[in-house]
Amino acid sequence: EDQVTQSPEALRLQEGESSSLNCSYTVSGLRGLFWYRQDPGKGPEFLFTLYSAGEEKEKERLKATLTKKESFLHITAPKPEDSATYLCAVGASGSRLTFGEGTQLTVNP
């Protein structure tokens, strides 16, 4: 059974304090690892897709990396507007995405 575990559940940072979110996964046949950002009451916003170990993607203050067992979302010098829940999902068997429970990030000014 495919499994995705995100840590920490919640993270509080000061503005400018860089950190990383973790997504560990167990799947048979990875068909992509996806990062999403979700603001309260809104739909998830697609951020990145990673397909193979060693791959990296960047967008503004965010950088996603992938190994054979986990992915990291690095946040460099975060701003309050980066506060959101970050969801990791894997595409594996069938047509389904398996989501982690998310990391709720709060960036204080």
Partner 1 sequence: DTEVTQTPKHLVMGMTNKKSLKCEQHMGHRAMYWYKQKAKKPPELMFVYSYEKLSINESVPSRFSPECPNSSLLNLHLHALQPEDSALYLCASSPGLAGAGEQYFGPGTRLTVT
Position 41 contacts partner 1 (CB under 8 A) = yes
User: Whose CA is closest to 100, among 37, 23, 46?
Assistant: 23
* Region near partner 1 per CB under 8 A, out of 16-24, 56-64, 68-76, 98-106: 98-106
Residues near partner 1 (CB under 8 A), total: 22
Q: How far is CA 37 from the centre of its chain?
A: 8
Position 44 contacts partner 1 (CB under 8 A) = yes
CA angle 13, 14, 16 (to 5 degrees): 105
Question: How far apart are CB 41 and partner 1 at their closest, in Å?
Answer: 7
Q: Residue from 25, 36, 62, 75 that binds partner 1 (CB under 8 A)? A: 36
**84 Cβ contact partners less than 8 Å away, ≥ 6 residues apart:** 37, 38, 39, 104, 105
Chain contacts with partner 1 (rule: CB under 8 A): 31-32, 34, 36, 41-46, 49, 87, 89, 91, 94-97, 99-102
